[in-house]
Structure 1
Amino acid sequence: MTQTGQPARSSSSFDWSATRLGEPGQWPWPLRMAADLLFNLPLPALLVWGRGMTVFFNDAYGALAGPGYGKVPGGSVPPVMPPPLAAAPEELERAWNGEAAIARARAFGFAGAAASNGANSPRDLHFTPLRAADGSVEGVLCVLAPPASVAASEEAPAGPLRILVVEDNLDSQYLVCEMLRAFGHHADGVGHPDDALAHLAAGRYDVLFTDVSLPGMSGVELARKAVVDAPAMQVIFASGYGDTLLRHLEFPYLSLQKPYELDQLQAALDKVAAQKQART
């Protein structure tokens, strides 16, 4: 898991000169964003880019798969289909067609991997389509998670959550939404409070995850309006200015100080999921 205080890894952290993609500065921006997300995910994960199957992986996946994956985390077409992808061809194809999919408790093996590290244990495989600016699916993110039955036996909070992300920086909005989907949640993203209110009026959300500073209306005022119509909805604020603007609020909330770590976001979502579970 990503540790608090550790510098975030990115595609620029590695030498890609020997791969088929070349320097990250020449990559399409959705690929760079998705790769940066991949390298900081706490769970083992693969990123497949293009139908030519250029595959990336993170440290957690490399630890499972064994030393044969090398030092640079991907950027090449593997000679054989990676075991998690081979174990769920239908779900992979659904993701290529633009649909998030989960393959439950799939068993597969890594050749030569040590049995002691749990590499060959069944996993839930979460597939998320990755879209280009024009909306076309250019890649697929596959996250390996413990089976839901195992998570339940360890008293992990239930999910998934329906989350509305309000962030006017489109790159940040994309990254947060993809990260939440990789965690197994449903996430919609908007950049303006008016669009957020329209989404909230049209559908039910468990969580409003909003930046404090927004155009036209603050995230605090947006949350005030939202909880009037949906008192059970939980609010998570993200702020680069601390909690100064959040004092004396009349409704419960959680807050994250920008820049926040993945494990801090996951901990906040776990609290929300636990509260949701306790109400049911």
Structure 2
Amino acid sequence: MAPSAIDPPLRPGLLLVPGWNDDQRARDRTLEQGLHAAGWACHRVDLPNATLSATERASVTREDNLRDLLAAYDALAAEPQVARDAIGMVGVSYGGYLAALASRLRPLRWLALRAPALYRDEAWSQPKEALDKDDLSVYRLLRLPPQKNRALGACADFRGDALLIGSAHDDTIPRPVIENYAAALATARSFELRMIEGADHALSHPDWYEAFRRSLFDWLGQRQAEWKVERAAAASPAHAPPPRLRILVVEDDADTLAATLHLLQALGHWATGVKSAEGAKSRFLEGVFDVLMVDIGLPALSGRELAQTLRERASFPVIFATGQAAPPQAPPDTFWLHKPYSVEQLEAALRGAAALLPPRRDPS
């Protein structure tokens, strides 16, 4: 039966898998809320379960936790608003180890691991808290091929998109562990390794945690955009992505500029950026770009003034991306995106801009 017009759109699903007995639950909840706001059907898995008594916690094994994680995956995949072909996991420390194992047992499109732990395959049914910690510290210094460890072997078999984030000064998960995971994930469909300089395992400084959060949201935003483009193209020609546009982005915030360029490129467009209106004036040559995408609140010359100046030389559509409200009477051939905007809103603006261009403006 075809879905009705009032059915909500499908969302990609995401499981957050924190570390063992993680004391950063407030951070995790904030991360979960942010991902939900960004369009993900997101759930957090507690390992071990916060309701367990001390005695019960002491008896929990890795097998128990993996079973709990798989059950959480199955529950997420069964939710009617979740796309079954678009589920990922974000695992941290012990949660990263379990997420790696789960990638072999359930279909995952995305796998993001921060400082994933590594354990011997032996003593699988022994309580986790009873594992020999001194032996574990030695084991994590070894160079291990994927065939010598179940988690690494699962990563070597993973064919989705993978992100690995390590801390440069991590005494709990030393660099050899990160290198072992990186080598195993090298055959994934796409793989990125990012190291947070100066950071410890717990990301105890706010700047370190913010670096992790930005990296994760940037990577997941690109993956979500790619999935939506694929889904729209497969739905029908009427919903195919707009022609490939040449876009100049003007944004004075470096992080926002980088994220915008990544998103536009993920949507299939050619984009480059500058941080000031003065830089844009020299870069925007007639015939080189199709669209100007500009923030309003630029230093010195505003985005509106820049657009007006450039449009005295040539006619082209402008997308204003701003925290300000759109004017009651917007200038012709302009589109207004209110920050933070969704991927769908950006795509709508790009379609509108593409419709204003003469035939064959698609660059090759």
How far apart, in 1, do the equivalents of 2:195 and 2:265 lie? 16
How far apart, in 2, do the equivalents of 1:129 and 1:275 lie? 37
Structure 1 residue 257: deviation in Å? 1.5
**Aligned residue among 57, 65, 85 for 1:64:** 85
Pair 1:273-2:354 in alignment: yes
Q: Residue 4 of structure 1 aligns with which residue? A: none
Q: Residue 257 of structure 1 aligns with which residue? A: 338
Structure 1 residue 151: deviation in Å? 7.0
Q: Map 1:96-111 onto structure 2 (within 5 A).
A: none
Aligned residues: 197
Q: Residue 317 of structure 2 aligns with which residue? A: 234
Query: Per the alignment, do residues 261 and 147 of structure 1 end up closer, same or farther by CA in structure 2, a change over 3 Å counting?
Result: closer
Code of the aligned partner of 1:239: T
SS at match of 2:311: helix
Structure 1 residue 190: deviation in Å? 1.0
TM-score by length of 2: 0.42
**Aligned residue among 271, 278, 281 for 1:194:** 278
Q: Map 1:17-166 onto structure 2 (within 5 A).
A: 17=19, 40=38, 63-64=84-85, 68=106, 73-75=111-113, 78-83=154-159, 143-144=226-227, 145-146=229-230, 153-154=237-238, 156=240, 158-166=242-250
Structure having the higher Rg: 2
Q: Residue 101 of structure 2 aligns with which residue? A: none
Code of the aligned partner of 1:64: D
How far apart, in 1, do the equivalents of 2:195 and 2:270 lie? 19
Structure 1 residue 238: deviation in Å? 1.6
Cα deviation 1:204-236 (Å, max 9, x = unaligned)? 1111010111011010110011122221x2101
How far apart, in 1, do the equivalents of 2:329 and 2:112 lie? 46
Cα deviation 1:17-54 (Å, max 9, x = unaligned)? 26xxx99x9xxxxxx9xxx99x9478xxxxxxxxxxxx
Cα deviation 1:114-166 (Å, max 9, x = unaligned)? xxxxxxxxxxxx97989999xxxx99866354399857733635421111111
SS at match of 2:321: strand
- Percent identical pairs in the alignment equals 29
Code of the aligned partner of 1:198: S
Structure 1 residue 14: deviation in Å? 3.5
How far apart, in 2, do the equivalents of 1:157 and 1:62 lie? 20
Query: Per the alignment, do residues 40 and 259 of structure 1 end up closer, same or farther by CA in structure 2, a change over 3 Å counting?
Result: closer
Does structure 2 conserve the Cα–Cα contact (< 8 Å) formed by 1:41 and 1:262? no
SS at match of 2:357: helix
Cα deviation 1:241-266 (Å, max 9, x = unaligned)? 2124x7463x4211112222221111
Q: Which runs of 5+ in 2 are unaligned?
A: 1-11, 41-76, 88-104, 117-151, 162-188, 197-214
How far apart, in 1, do the equivalents of 2:322 and 2:158 lie? 39
SS at match of 1:260: coil
Pair 1:224-2:308 in alignment: yes
Task: Please report the RMSD computed on the Cα atoms of aligned residues, expressed in angstroms.
Answer: 4.8
Does structure 2 conserve the Cα–Cα contact (< 8 Å) formed by 1:209 and 1:235? yes
How far apart, in 1, do the equivalents of 2:317 and 2:193 lie? 27
How far apart, in 2, do the equivalents of 1:132 and 1:185 lie? 28
Q: Residue 148 of structure 2 aligns with which residue? A: none
Structure 1 residue 199: deviation in Å? 1.2
Code of the aligned partner of 1:230: A
Does structure 2 conserve the Cα–Cα contact (< 8 Å) formed by 1:210 and 1:219? yes
Does structure 1 conserve the Cα–Cα contact (< 8 Å) formed by 2:286 and 2:314? no
Q: Which runs of 5+ in 1 are unaligned?
A: 1-8, 26-31, 43-58, 86-125
Which stretches of structure 1, 4 residues or more, deviate above 4 A after TM superposition? 39-42, 59-62, 126-133, 138-142, 147-152, 277-280
Greater RCO structure (CA 8 Å; 6+ sep): 1
TM-score by length of 1: 0.53
How far apart, in 2, do the equivalents of 1:264 and 1:161 lie? 16
Structure 1 residue 68: deviation in Å? 1.2
